[in-house]
Amino acid sequence: MAQKLAGKSAVVTGGGSENGIGKEVALAMAAEGAKVVVNDITKDPDGTWGADRVVMEIKQAGGTAIANYDSVATMSGGENIIKTATSNFGRVDILVNCAGNFVSGPTVDCTEDEWDLIMAIHLKGLFSCTRAAIREMLKQKSGGRIINFTSIAAFPHELGPEPAIAYGTAKAGVLAFTKTLSLEMEKYGITVNAISPNAATVLFPFPEMFGAKRYGPEFVAPVIVFLATDEAKSVTGQIIYSGGGDVAIHDQPMQMPEPPRFIQKTGKWTVDELIKIIPPLISPA
């Protein structure tokens, strides 16, 4: 079977955390033939860069990958992350903005440093990498894929384990960024979408959140790979919920849609299944 991302170059920020969505995305994209830049600033307890560990796993599986350790929180860092792709693979076709952090607690206790740190990673980091990637995509004149991460915390119907005013505010900003940029880039064939994941990860180890059971990050990866394929070239400006076997297209930010814009299965979706199912959800006949 032909690999869906053969010949593509992908960048995944925040791709080095064990049990993280970024790692699963990097592995899944490499398995579909993409050459992957795995970006992460964290190290394992033994001192190994998390990005190096994921790159090694990709290479052992027969894929192509290279690590990058720059922070997304600076403009130079974002530029260096994208330059890693263009210098080693000649181009950049896909950017997955998965780098994130989390600070919780009552609003009255949120410090200036905590607020600034959340905004630096989730919003400035989003801008720094995306601007650098789009500049390359426009030069290439062959379209591109930008995939961002939002959260139900942007418009919570109830509090999660703890209040998180900075995180929720930043994730609401990701929605505005995604919607605005998708309109700007549509004429260039560059799609921009946002994922709202429900997964138990190293950042959010809780078995439940907002009353919903949380599944492993490997369930989210196929949806992101789908958005990176040529078959998803008409899918842009969308907010897509993914958790376990549940996938939903949101008409309004974080508002659960009615059928037929919601699909569910027991187990993990495949990219082939999503290619057939998601486009009709967005543009029902």
Task: Provide the pairing of β-strand 35-39 with 9-13.
Answer: parallel
Q: Measuring CA to CA, which residue among 49, 11, 37, 22 is closest to residue 203?
A: 22
Q: Tell me if 121 is assigned to some domain.
A: yes
Count of CB atoms within 10 A of residue 140's CB? 15
Q: Tell me if 220 is assigned to some domain.
A: yes
115 — alpha (psi -120 to 50), left (phi > 0) or beta?
alpha
pLDDT tens for 237-255 read 999 988 888 888 876 554 5
Q: Measuring CA to CA, which residue among 14, 50, 52, 54 is closest to residue 31?
A: 54
Question: Known catalytic residues?
Answer: 167
Q: Tell me if 4 is assigned to some domain.
A: no
- CA separation for the pair 26, 10 (Å, rounded): 8
Please measure the distance between the N-terminal and C-terminal CA atoms of the chain and give it in whole angstroms: 29
Q: Tell me if 1 is assigned to some domain.
A: no
State residue 152's pLDDT score. 81
- CA separation for the pair 257, 216 (Å, rounded): 23
- For residues 212-248, one letter each, b for 16 or more C-beta atoms within 10 angstroms of the residue's C-beta and e for the rest, the string is eebbebbbbbbbbbbbbbebbeebbbbbbbbbbebbb
Q: Tell me if 2 is assigned to some domain.
A: no
Q: Tell me if 3 is assigned to some domain.
A: no
pTM: 0.88
Quote the domain boundaries for residue 150: 9-282
Residue type (1 letter), 133: A
Q: DSSP labels for 159-186?
A: --SS-BHHHHHHHHHHHHHHHHHHHHHG
- CA separation for the pair 14, 42 (Å, rounded): 9
Q: Tell me if 270 is assigned to some domain.
A: yes
State residue 285's pLDDT score. 44
Percent of the chain clearing pLDDT 90 (strictly above): 66
Local structure of 271: helix, strand or coil: helix
State residue 221's pLDDT score. 94
**CATH number assigned to the domain comprising residue 128:** 3.40.50.720
Local structure of 50: helix, strand or coil: helix
Residues 6+ apart with CB under 8 A from 12: 22, 25, 26, 29, 36, 37, 38, 39, 96, 98
pLDDT tens for 195-246 read 999 876 566 555 555 555 567 788 899 999 999 999 999 999 999 988 888 8
Q: Tell me if 149 is assigned to some domain.
A: yes
Number of domains in the chain: 1
Whole-number average pLDDT of the chain: 89
- Residue 16: pLDDT above 60? yes
